[in-house]
Amino acid sequence: MKAIIGIAVLAALLCVIAVSTNAAGKITVDPNETGAAEPLDAVVEPTDARLDQPITCQFRQETVLTILSTLSLSGVKLKAGWSELDWQVRERKMTIFAKDMPLRSLMSSISRVMKFSWVRGGKENEWYYRLYVDRSTLSAAQAKQAEADKRLNEEVTKRRHKFVDDTMNLKDDPSEAELARLKEENPYVYSLYEKGSLAFIKGLFTEAPQMAEGVRNCTNQGAQPSKLSPDTRQQLLHVMQEMWKINGDRWAGNGTPFPPEVEENLRRAQITLDTEPRFFSGANTAEERLAHFGWVGVSCPTNDDPSWWFKVEHFGDLSSKTMQHRAKAELTAIEDGRDLGDVYTELEGEGNQAYADARELVEELTLSEPVVDHPDEPALHAKTKLKLDSQNKWPNLADIQSALASASGLSVVSDSFRRSSLTTLPGYSVPQNEKELKDVLDGIAVGFHYNWEKSGTAVEFRDRDWFKKRSVQIPDAWIKGWRDRTKKNGYLSLDDYTQIAALTDDQIVENILTDEVLGRLGYDFANAGLRSGRRWLQLYGHLTAKQRRAAESEHGLDLWMVSPDQWRWVEDLFKAKPGTLDDPTIPLLFTVQTTNTGPKEYKYRFVARTADGGHLHDCNLVLPKYVEPKKEQPKENQPRESKPAPAATPAPASGK
């Protein structure tokens, strides 16, 4: 932080405590409590000559605790939260670029942006000021988030039911003219005909109705090809071969031929329905849930791999532009004999537009903060040109706000989140040409889904989904523990993996995949561990220490002996294996096998089997190895870590 110079009187936000003039003193109770001191914005402005100094400072994605502790060097004690455990104030992050900004104005901007409040304590001429979250503000945000979740869930359920109904009602044999029209108007529906997927889906939903119900109700399910009709099995094989053509170069290894033994072994295969959003892909889970309803995969033994598995088909909203974009890419890859990844790159513009359309619907359903109207003033018409580092191809929000402060001469006060502050939404570019200040601010707001307001010589930014994003944040102490152990050991331990698997999708996206250390663990960390292995990890995480020792023994843990509370995780694990839990007289053994595959490299194999060795279900997890990045020259104003709440304990609640 640059030198702090000067201080002035705190404006309307900071006011006198409504107590007797003879009783002014230290505040020791939460002002939210009955009979507590009033917040400063509810009473008369105090007189504090120390608040006259102007402040010049820079903070990039720093915690409120760090910011207030540093500002306290001015001689005015500023406290964050009501105790060291109040991480929901202390660990919220902000970006600030202030130049000669009166402390009173800076404090006012901080509270407005963060929707926090100030109270005053101490005694005259030695006042301190404490920033806290008002319970009414917190309750209103929680209520708004609950309403948004309800609206989103209802819309997703409605769309899932409509997909099943509409798919089953599609014609079996459309005319060539109808197909030609579909190819132009709805590539997704056309692709279902072209690949033969529609016939397979109809057969699957009819002959294995639990699969249709799984799509309707967003629950993972399974089916056995041996119980399907010969026609439906043949349709399944045909779709697998078609999808292999366009994905083979990427997934099967340089165009490896489709394993011929799959056809012979198909009756022994297992079909799985996965209905979870692809949270690891970087897509917003709300947008993904509205468009993508799941996918079908097949595990089938081959000569080279007894656990061979292949993703067969995606399910999604028949009218979704996102699904139509995916289908168009697949069709182009099939018709031109090209790699699917290359086609996606070519169609990136269409994909961005599809994303933007989906984003509008999400905003409507999830109750994003409305866009703020701005009164006209001459300063907003000033010509402004942002100067960004030409070497930085992916400037984040703090980079752009720093350039804005330099170009405009205005101070910037903004909230900051790990994920949304990293880069712009797809389809938007940073405004770098000379434009009027208002256009530059609007461009930043649209690109990062923010609101902005001008207050005096400062511009205040707040994420339009701040209430949702705060609700999925977790204490820094949890992240720091996982991060420190990963760096120390060189890998993520099974216990840590289990704790992270218990987080929600949104929590993983916001807190884990964006972390500078945990995010380096890569695709396998998100895909294998937090997707295909998630239910195994959740079951393992709910076992007692004694049960874990039994699972790690040669004999294994009999899952029929777990408690009723633990049984739900067993049922969840075997949803994709129908019939497994039908006979409680057959021992169901759960084992965890550990293999050291190299320096700091461990592989875990979870197996469910019968007492006589019969194989029922398994999962292989390779613990991600951490590779320390090359050390770079430290940049000016690099963010510093905040001290996490010392009493926080990693005990995240589980959930989808």
Q: For 396-408, what is each residue's pLDDT tens digit? A: 899 999 999 999 9
Looking at per-residue pLDDT, the higher value among 67 and 503 belongs to: 67
d(CA 413, CA 460): 5
Residue 6 has pLDDT above 70, yes or no: no
pLDDT value, residue 355: 77
Which of these ranges, 34-38, 103-107, 452-456, 591-595, has the smallest mean pLDDT? 34-38
Rounded to two decimals, the pTM is 0.76
**Helix (H, G, I), strand (E, B), or coil: what is residue 293?**
strand
Extract the tokens encoding 640: 């510093």
Could you please report the per-residue DSSP string of 517-586? TGGGG-HHIIIIIIIITHHHHHHHHTS-HHHHHHHTSSS-EEGGGS-HHHHHHHHHHTTTSTTTTS-TTS
How many whole angstroms from its chain centre is CA 638?
Answer: 24
Q: If we measure between CA atoms, which residue out of 214, 231, 328, 319 comes closest to residue 273? A: 214
pLDDT of residue 583: 82
Give the residue from 367, 652, 366 showing the smallest Cα distance to 512: 652
Computed over every residue of the chain, the mean pLDDT equals: 81
What pLDDT, on a 0 to 100 scale, did the predictor assign at position 358? Answer: 78
**Does residue 521 register a pLDDT over 60?**
yes
- CA distances (Å), origin 384, targets 62, 381, 455, 568: 27, 9, 18, 59
The pLDDT of residue 44 is 32
CA distances from 591 to 496, 553, 617 (A): 19, 7, 11
The pLDDT assigned to 574 comes to 84
Which of 520 and 78 is assigned the larger pLDDT? 78
Q: What is the pLDDT of residue 650?
A: 34
pLDDT digits (tens, 9 = 90+) for 355-383: 777 777 777 787 788 899 999 999 999 99
Of 339-353, 369-383, 637-651, minimum mean pLDDT range: 637-651
Which residue carries 């992050």 as its tokens?
93
498 neighbors 540 (Cβ within 8 angstroms): yes
Residue with the larger pLDDT of the pair 647 and 325: 325
Q: Where are the domains of the chain?
A: 155-364, 481-622
Residues 6+ apart with CB under 8 A from 158: none
Most confident of 8-22, 111-125, 501-515, 584-598: 111-125
